[in-house]
């Protein structure tokens, strides 16, 4: 039974925290953030059979209070620099150390009983400890990204299946798994969002929807687009790593309030309602709403008044300025809410909707992609500006504004937008 358990432990070893430094960054949601935490906990336990073997061969004691205290002290100090409450982090790591110690003691007891050496040439204990230190660092950074998900009101029930799927083999005791869930639920931020925490953590969490080409597009879990590239350049200027966190148009404001990201990018229009909950950077793009329809209907829907008739079906994506504009300006047309902004234009192509009101940049992109679609109105019906949406921290806002002014002077936003339009 122990051999089967060890094989399962080793098989479930996962890679270190790896949301940064990739050619096309991942777009991380709550499930991915929590899964990273659980995978690193599993990896830490998966290392213990090798640690036990190294101690067995070298004669080093399993119980090493000095090493355990040093690990906890370093982790506590690192948690503080990340802006995490150090006490629950220390309690979580203490549980992992206790579980690792118990596993090593069980293995040594089994090997003594069977007079069987675990392996001929185990890895060097110092090498293994360096690996564990890297896992610990990855775990702390993963916890930093997962705090909002772990603080959800239904977190314990929401992540229970994930815990069982990833840890049941490496952590066979249901009581230990229950305790892990409780300790994860206590992880929280100790400092307010802002520039100080961004720089101390080394991570800039960028909220984006991933459904608004050419600014932010998700494909296969990866994010790309003009504002994704702009966000990466901003993070580089701040000297930190960008991590892109999934948000939605309908939860954009609430996610900022819940500290799910430090700032949001992705073709976000400046509105008074959003500004009341955070702040906007200096704008880097101006435009407005226009009308998109099938080219065969270009003359039929050449104005707002021409669209607003009974029997005309206007499609919108929920929660954003497109829906707001339509509901404020249309009285007679039928409004269809389509939940996925990535496929909303397919409804026009298929004839299941007649018109969409959207920003001129997106309309031009869709007309480029789909020759059947055309702007029916040459100008814009409104004037709006795109900007970075962020918390009220004045120092972070000033840093973003300072960098953006330079980027605009160099023509970076316009260049990145042009490149994204032609991809």
The CATH number assigned to the domain holding 19 equals 1.20.59.10
Q: How many domains does the chain have?
A: 3
Average pLDDT of the chain?
91
* Residue-level pLDDT at 341: 84
Beta-bridge partners for 286: 385
DSSP-derived 3-state class of residue 414: helix
In a domain, 179, yes or no: yes
Mean pLDDT for the stretch of residues 355-374:
94
**Nearest to residue 329, comparing CAs of 369, 288, 283?**
288
Question: What's the CA gap between 297 and 309, in Å, rounded?
Answer: 14
The count of other CB atoms within 10 Å of the CB of residue 178 is 13
278 and 129 in a single domain? The answer is no
374 and 401 in a single domain? The answer is no
The count of other CB atoms within 10 Å of the CB of residue 111 is 16
334 and 417 in a single domain? The answer is no
Mean pLDDT for the stretch of residues 305-311:
97
* Residue-level pLDDT at 392: 84
User: Is residue 290 over pLDDT 70?
Assistant: yes
Integer angstrom CA distances of residue 61 from 65, 66, 146, 330: 10, 12, 35, 76
**Nearest to residue 312, comparing CAs of 323, 301, 322?**
301
Last residue of some domain: 185, 208, 239? 185
pLDDT cut 90: percent of the chain above it = 81
In a domain, 144, yes or no: yes
Mean pLDDT for the stretch of residues 48-60:
90
Q: Which residues contact 33 (CB under 8 A, 6 or more apart)?
A: 142, 145, 146, 149, 245
CB 225 within 8 A of CB 341: no
User: Is residue 21 over pLDDT 60?
Assistant: no
* Residue-level pLDDT at 152: 87
User: Is residue 47 over pLDDT 50?
Assistant: yes
pLDDT band at 118 (very low <50, low <70, confident <90, very high): low
In a domain, 139, yes or no: yes
267 and 242 in a single domain? The answer is yes
pLDDT band at 305 (very low <50, low <70, confident <90, very high): very high
User: Is residue 14 over pLDDT 80?
Assistant: no
* Residue-level pLDDT at 209: 96
pLDDT band at 117 (very low <50, low <70, confident <90, very high): low
pLDDT band at 39 (very low <50, low <70, confident <90, very high): very high
CB 71 within 8 A of CB 117: no
307 and 337 in a single domain? The answer is yes
* Residue-level pLDDT at 112: 87
In a domain, 30, yes or no: yes
Last residue of some domain: 117, 152, 185? 185
* Residue-level pLDDT at 27: 95
User: Is residue 5 over pLDDT 50?
Assistant: no
* Residue-level pLDDT at 2: 39
* Residue-level pLDDT at 15: 35
405 and 374 in a single domain? The answer is no
- Span of 9-18, 119-128, 139-148 with lowest mean pLDDT: 9-18
Beta-bridge partners for 146: none
Task: Tell me which H or E stretch contains 327.
Answer: helix 321-329
* Residue-level pLDDT at 23: 67
User: For residue 218, what are the domain limits?
Assistant: 196-284+385-422
**Nearest to residue 252, comparing CAs of 243, 241, 260, 242?**
260
Last residue of some domain: 130, 165, 185? 185
pLDDT band at 119 (very low <50, low <70, confident <90, very high): low
40 and 145 in a single domain? The answer is yes
* Residue-level pLDDT at 121: 65
265 and 314 in a single domain? The answer is no
pLDDT band at 8 (very low <50, low <70, confident <90, very high): very low
In a domain, 228, yes or no: yes
CATH number for the domain that contains residue 313: 3.40.190.10
348 and 404 in a single domain? The answer is no
Beta-bridge partners for 216: 212
In a domain, 191, yes or no: no
263 vs 111, residue with greater confidence? 263
Question: What's the CA gap between 392 and 295, in Å, rounded?
Answer: 44
102 and 126 in a single domain? The answer is yes
User: What phi and psi, each to the nearest 5 degrees, are found at residue 318?
Assistant: -80, 150
134 and 13 in a single domain? The answer is yes
User: Is residue 139 over pLDDT 80?
Assistant: yes
* Residue-level pLDDT at 153: 82
Mean pLDDT for the stretch of residues 322-332:
96
7 vs 318, residue with greater confidence? 318
* Residue-level pLDDT at 22: 55
| HSE-CB for 132 with a 13 A CA cutoff | 26
Mean pLDDT for the stretch of residues 84-102:
96
User: Is residue 12 over pLDDT 90?
Assistant: no
159 and 78 in a single domain? The answer is yes
């Amino acid at each position: 039974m122990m051999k089967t358990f060890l094989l399962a432990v080793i098989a479930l070893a996962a890679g270190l925290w790896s949301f940064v430094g990739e050619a096309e960054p991942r777009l991380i949601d709550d499930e991915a953030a929590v899964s990273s935490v659980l995978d690193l906990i599993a990896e830490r336990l998966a290392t213990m059979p090798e640690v036990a073997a190294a101690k067995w061969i070298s004669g080093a004691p399993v119980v090493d209070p000095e090493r355990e205290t040093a690990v906890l002290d370093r982790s506590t100090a690192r948690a503080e620099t990340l802006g995490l409450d150090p006490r629950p982090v220390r309690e979580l790591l203490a549980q992992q150390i206790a579980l690792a110690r118990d596993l090593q003691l069980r293995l040594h007891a089994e090997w003594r009983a069977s007079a069987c050496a675990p392996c001929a040439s185990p890895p060097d204990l110092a090498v293994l400890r360096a690996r564990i230190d890297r896992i610990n660092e990855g775990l702390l950074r993963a916890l930093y990204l997962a705090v909002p998900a772990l603080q959800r009101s239904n977190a314990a029930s929401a992540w229970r299946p994930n815990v069982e799927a990833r840890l049941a083999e490496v952590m066979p005791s249901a009581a230990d798994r229950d305790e892990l869930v409780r300790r994860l639920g206590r992880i929280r931020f100790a400092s307010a969002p802002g520039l100080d925490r961004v720089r101390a953590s080394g991570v800039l969490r960028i909220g984006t929807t991933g459904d608004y080409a050419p600014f932010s597009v998700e494909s296969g879990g990866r994010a790309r687009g003009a504002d994704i590239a702009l966000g990466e350049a901003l993070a580089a200027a701040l000297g930190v790593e960008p991590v892109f966190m999934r948000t939605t148009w309908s939860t954009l404001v609430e996610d900022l309030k819940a500290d799910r990201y430090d700032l949001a990018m992705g073709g976000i229009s400046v509105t008074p309602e959003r500004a009341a909950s955070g702040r906007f950077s200096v704008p880097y793009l101006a435009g407005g709403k226009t009308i998109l329809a099938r080219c065969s209907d270009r003359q039929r829907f050449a104005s707002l008044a021409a669209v607003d008739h009974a029997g005309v079906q206007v499609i919108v994506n929920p929660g954003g300025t497109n829906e707001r504009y339509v509901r404020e300006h249309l009285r007679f047309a039928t409004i269809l809410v389509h939940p996925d902004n990535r496929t909303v234009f397919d409804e026009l192509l298929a004839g299941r909707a007649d018109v969409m009101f959207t920003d001129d940049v997106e309309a031009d992109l869709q007309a480029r992609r789909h020759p059947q679609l055309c702007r029916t109105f040459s100008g814009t019906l409104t004037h709006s500006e795109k900007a970075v949406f962020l918390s009220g921290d004045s120092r972070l806002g000033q840093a973003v504004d300072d960098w953006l002014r330079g980027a605009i002077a160099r023509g970076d936003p316009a260049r990145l937008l042009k490149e994204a339009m032609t991809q």
